[in-house]
Amino acid sequence: MKKRQEIQDKIKNIVQEYGISEDQAAGVLHAKELKPRDIEKVAKDSLKSLPFQLATQKMSSSHLQALRNSFDEETVHMVLEQGKGLNTIDQADFKKISKENPRLARWAFETPAGREMLNWSTRFQKP
Q: Which tens digit of pLDDT belongs to each residue from 78-110?
A: 999 999 999 999 999 999 999 999 999 999 999
Residues 6+ apart with CB under 8 A from 105: 94, 97, 98, 120, 127
- Residue-level pLDDT at 94: 95
Residue 99 is part of which domain span?
Answer: 2-123
pTM value surpassing 0.75: yes
Domain count, the chain: 1
The mean predicted confidence, pLDDT, of the chain is 93
- Residue-level pLDDT at 1: 66
